[in-house]
A = this chain, B = another copy of it.
Amino acid sequence: MSTDSTRTAILRAAERLYAERGFGDVTLRDIVAAAEVNLAAVNYHFGSKDELITELFVTRSIATNRERLNELKAAEAAGGGRAPVEDVLRALVGPTVRGCLGPDSQRSDAARFMIRASIEAIPPIRKIKNREIDHLRKFAAALRRALPGKADEEIFWGLHFALAMAHQTVRDSERLLRLSDGVCDLDDVDGVIDRVVNLAALALTATKPAAADKAPARRGGR
């Protein structure tokens, strides 16, 4: 093999197992069994378990960020340097949702691995995760361009809620599925993305006093 097949076999097996079962439940022995390689190969090729996880996370993190930024740039280029709020949000949450929901064939271990990483926040990952902030700032900036005059506070909350809804939907899709008894269609990936994007956009574009049809926003319950 011209490519180091043992190395990549370990990476693929680890990514798949971690995506399926989480970090806590997967041992090196599980990984090497799935990859059909020797136990010592992990330490030979990666140095340690933590370095294996770190390499996986860094690689996927870069890929995800690039994918998001590509969509953002495409959207902004189409709009002459400014994209509608919806498109900015879609670029932010689309890649992850698309990789985690939908038919099995379309789901990616990579996206589900990243969700696991964001959930369990294992030490080797926690250190790197700080860079995500800088990445998100680029989307905050794009939202500012889309909403001139909007207060920063609102921008950040909108961004946060968009991520929260997308993230939680892919993370615990089972609960929504069971709660709704199948009424909520999580295989309609674009539909899910639209729900998240539209609601977050609503948060960002709605006029301040929130003119809902009834029950004006009241503060300080109980």
| Interface, chain A (partner B; CB < 8 A) | 22-24, 71, 84-87, 90, 94, 119-122, 132-133, 136-137, 140, 152-153, 156-157, 159-161, 163-165, 167-169, 175-176, 178-180, 183-184, 190-191, 193-195, 197-199, 201-203, 205-206, 210, 212-215, 217-222
Contacts and interface: CB of A to CB of B under 8 A. Distances in A.
Interface centre among A119, A161, A201, A220 (most CB of B within 10 A): A161
A34 to B, nearest CB: 20
Contacts of A175: 132-133, 160
B136 A179 contact: yes
Contacts of A161: 165, 195, 199
Contacts of A136: 179
Given A119-B119, A215-B86, A199 B190 contact: no
Nearest to A167: B168
Nearest to A161: B165
Contacts of A71: 222
Question: Which 4 pairs of residues, A with B, have the shortest CB-CB distance?
Answer: A164-B168, A156-B180, A84-B215, A90-B221
